[in-house]
Structure 1
Amino acid sequence: MTTTNSTTSETKGTSTAPIVHGDIHLIRATSQEIIQRTWTNNQQEWGKDFGAETYYARERFLASQDFASNGKQKFWVLVPRTFDPEHPDLDLILSAVETFERPGIIATKEQGLRDVLSVSIASVFTPAHYRGHGYASLMMRLLWKEIQKMDKVEFTFLYSDVGPVFYSRIGWIAKRSDEIVIPTSHTIANPTSSSDVVLQNVTEHQLLELVEKDAKWLRESLQTRVESSDRDDVFVAVIPEPTCIAWLNARSRFTAQNLKVSQDGPTILGVQDSQTNSFVLWFHDFAHHQLYIIRWRMDPKAGVETTRALLQAAQAEAQMWKLPKIVIWNPDQSLVDTLGLDISKRDESISSIGFVSAEYDSKNIEWVLNEKYGWC
């Protein structure tokens, strides 16, 4: 698995003779031999910072984490119908994709808050010599049908690196995909002192309790929104869970160790202000030299001094690890005002969502907490 993004590599390349789409199907890959071949295929694109064996080790390590284990992560391959999974010709893997089961919520005025399952999609990859024949498009259409068969799954989401059009043809709707980039040297323009705010480090020991509270706060926020919403408004969220945040940080530690950044990797996962129930969680992206804010929560009672203190803590963490910038997805306006920086639209990792069992007007859909923790 390469979990850097949910992108397609259906671009021009050295092409082989096409196989008729009717002679192709999508199967779930369960053997390590087939799964590892998908890693071999995409390592050239997404594992350039590692040797092949180290890349395999990382993918096996990530697949063993709680977030991915016990069938929550699935591997799929597009192959000719003649492909024999027991005795596979690995050169006939035309395209591959991975899925993860995630807890979610859909909230409407009519039905209230409903706990559902969602499926996030990652690592769409077509080898160069098979590109140009529509295999990735076919695979995603077939995957959509497989997701429709999954019990209790009501929405699916991905992060596109090929713009909004490719996936929209199949059923995914592009949603807000903004970001703000904060240089670690940036001075936050605000006259209010943050020296009176006392922050506590978030480590793995505090993570479970904090994220469970976050999920509770999400439900309370959605309930408030639903009560004041119009009848056609739809609110959807991927529920924050400790396993996805632990998975991201396991990825960070592995990279730190193998790029010789650190022997042990980072142990501080963020900081919190328990007085106002505000916190920030982050992910050290050593491969791309940045600190990602994966979850940002400001309690409505908190003031700008708390915002400033959390930002300064993130800057200090990035500086300690020699990461020159901090990236926050879809920041709210108060955060932008505090920073005095511009929001930009992403041309990568475009947030896209699709509903499996219902049709909603895309104009009425709000993806709540559309933040980095949803990415895999």
Structure 2
Amino acid sequence: MSALKDTVDGYALVPASEAQDLIATQREWVEWGHPLLTQDQFITREKDVLGTSDFSVTRRRRWVLVPADDTQTLDFLAGCETYRRPILVRRGGGEVQRALSYSVCSVFVPEDKRRHGYAAKMMTLLQHRLNPAGCVPPPLDRGSLQDSRSLTVPLDDPSSELDDDGAYRGNATCSFLYSDIGEYYSQFAWTVVGNRHVQWAPSTSSADLPADARWLTADELNTIGRIDRAHLLSTLQTSSSPALRFCLDDPEATSWRWLIRRTNFYATTLLPSSAPKPTHFGLLLPGSSQADASYAVWMFDFIERKVAILRLRFTSASTFTMLVGAVRAQAAEFGMQKCLAWNIDLPSLGIELSDEDEAMLKQGEAVDRHKDALAHGEVVERHGKSASLPALAWYADKAEGERVEWVCNEYGWWC
């Protein structure tokens, strides 16, 4: 591990002031807003639409890289955001506990400040900030960690969501990000995990749904969120795996609703007012009990013209086919070009990838020989730029060689 340091080469990473935060947003417009949005529209999206959501108000923090002797400068060198994310975690045969993670996003260095190593300094210092040990942790697949100060509480702790008394750092079990620049972040101990998805073409034909199927609006998604939380908790509690296993804990669906709110802004801004707009973002297929429910949650990406499935849980091949068919029909109805779902549990559908399949995926080729089992879908492995590669850093106690497993590593946690 690197030594504990509050500065690197005379630079510090500090929480942004309100003025610094606004300037960071204005800078980002060039990269992530232009030319589809004006700068004013982009700022409205970030501050008024997303910034007022329940997901952002209590969980978001902007960080800026500054000279250590001038922390309030408006000419800061780089910036990023973090969102505090509650998780459930279980180590081997122990009890499930509640803990904290942080997602990292909006990593940005202005064009005129690039090629000076500022991004590397910022990500190093961010690890120092988030990691209870105050340093860059060992890579996910190497080293051991002992006596960490990661904040955990019993599952039945009465507090509704873990707090950190305003510190917003130095208490995490892990952090994660979604890389659009390949494995660049691995040098700072964020390791790519689970970069495969299944994709489908839109289709106007779909399987008949049962009479008790429920289509849900964005505001109703906590119905699925609460059912899913119970399912994920049971998955952790009943697992016989010796691995360290964790999942995001969001029964009120704040992350899903934030993502849908973000993409809906484009629908209302870019599409004609007369154009039909989606109203449903979830489908629940009740079972004989809550534990038997199947469901899907999705968003419409009007920039890439795709439907991204944020969460997919199925209890049989038939419910999988129903859910996928419904999403494909939604994609066709609103003019999308494809649908995708990250890290589907292929063995539960009777799919075992062959050595030939694995070789094709590593070479960037889609595998389509399992279309019958995948409701006409094909398996893809993402690589390189603009691939949103999930990457994980671990801070809590871990033995040498102990495996960490991210349960439900799906699109719904992207930011």
Task: Specify which of 161, 164, 176 is matched with residue 157 of structure 1.
Answer: 176
Shift of the alpha carbon at 1:362? 6.7
Shift of the alpha carbon at 1:129? 1.6
What's the secondary structure of 2:89's corresponding residue? strand
Q: Deviations over 1:204-260 (max 9, x none)?
A: 4532232111111101011121xx223xx1112112341111111111221111112
Instruction: Please say if 1:52 is aligned against 2:62.
Output: no
> Judging changes above 3 Å, is the alpha-carbon distance between structure 1 residues 168 and 208 closer, same or farther for their aligned structure 2 residues?
same
Shift of the alpha carbon at 1:297? 0.7
2:203·2:331 contact (CA, 8 Å) conserved in 1?
no
Task: Specify which of 84, 98, 112 is matched with residue 101 of structure 1.
Answer: 84
Task: For 2:209 and 2:16, locate their aligned partners in 1 and report how far apart those are by CA, in whole Å.
Answer: 54
> Judging changes above 3 Å, is the alpha-carbon distance between structure 1 residues 361 and 179 closer, same or farther for their aligned structure 2 residues?
farther
TM-score by length of 1: 0.84
1:78·1:94 contact (CA, 8 Å) conserved in 2?
yes
Task: For 1:222 and 1:236, locate their aligned partners in 2 and report how far apart those are by CA, in whole Å.
Answer: 8
Q: Deviations over 1:89-111 (max 9, x none)?
A: x3x22111000001112211243
> Judging changes above 3 Å, is the alpha-carbon distance between structure 1 residues 315 and 197 closer, same or farther for their aligned structure 2 residues?
farther
TM-score by length of 2: 0.76
Pairing 1:232-311 to 2, within 5 Å after superposition: 233-241=243-251, 242-260=253-271, 265-275=277-287, 276-299=292-315, 303-311=316-324
Shift of the alpha carbon at 1:346? 1.2
Task: For 2:376 and 2:271, locate their aligned partners in 1 and report how far apart those are by CA, in whole Å.
Answer: 35
Q: Deviations over 1:144-185 (max 9, x none)?
A: 111125264211011111112x22211212111101221104
> Judging changes above 3 Å, is the alpha-carbon distance between structure 1 residues 54 and 194 closer, same or farther for their aligned structure 2 residues?
same
The amino acid of 2:319's aligned partner reads T
Please provide the CA RMSD for this pair.
Answer: 2.3
Q: Deviations over 1:22-69 (max 9, x none)?
A: 2211111031x2112112222111112201000000000201100010
Instruction: Please say if 1:27 is aligned against 2:39.
Output: no
Task: Tell me the equivalent position of 1:43.
Answer: 29
Instruction: Please say if 1:329 is aligned against 2:342.
Output: yes
Task: For 2:260 and 2:400, locate their aligned partners in 1 and report how far apart those are by CA, in whole Å.
Answer: 36
1:181·1:327 contact (CA, 8 Å) conserved in 2?
yes
Task: Tell me the equivalent position of 1:125.
Answer: 108
Task: For 2:187 and 2:205, locate their aligned partners in 1 and report how far apart those are by CA, in whole Å.
Answer: 43
Task: For 1:197 and 1:181, locate their aligned partners in 2 and report how far apart those are by CA, in whole Å.
Answer: 27
Shift of the alpha carbon at 1:359? 3.7
Q: Any stretches of 5+ residues in structure 1 without a counterpart?
A: 1-19
Shift of the alpha carbon at 1:112? 2.4
Task: For 2:177 and 2:210, locate their aligned partners in 1 and report how far apart those are by CA, in whole Å.
Answer: 40
Task: For 2:232 and 2:46, locate their aligned partners in 1 and report how far apart those are by CA, in whole Å.
Answer: 31
Task: Tell me the equivalent position of 2:166.
Answer: none
1:106·1:234 contact (CA, 8 Å) conserved in 2?
yes
Pairing 1:77-88 to 2, within 5 Å after superposition: 77-85=64-72, 88=73
Task: Tell me the equivalent position of 1:147.
Answer: 130
> Judging changes above 3 Å, is the alpha-carbon distance between structure 1 residues 222 and 357 closer, same or farther for their aligned structure 2 residues?
closer
Pairing 1:352-363 to 2, within 5 Å after superposition: 352-359=391-398
| Structure 1 outlier segments of 4+, above 6 Å | none
Task: For 1:253 and 1:341, locate their aligned partners in 2 and report how far apart those are by CA, in whole Å.
Answer: 26
2:86·2:248 contact (CA, 8 Å) conserved in 1?
yes
Task: Specify which of 171, 189, 192 is matched with residue 189 of structure 2.
Answer: 171
Q: Any stretches of 5+ residues in structure 2 without a counterpart?
A: 1-6, 133-168, 352-369
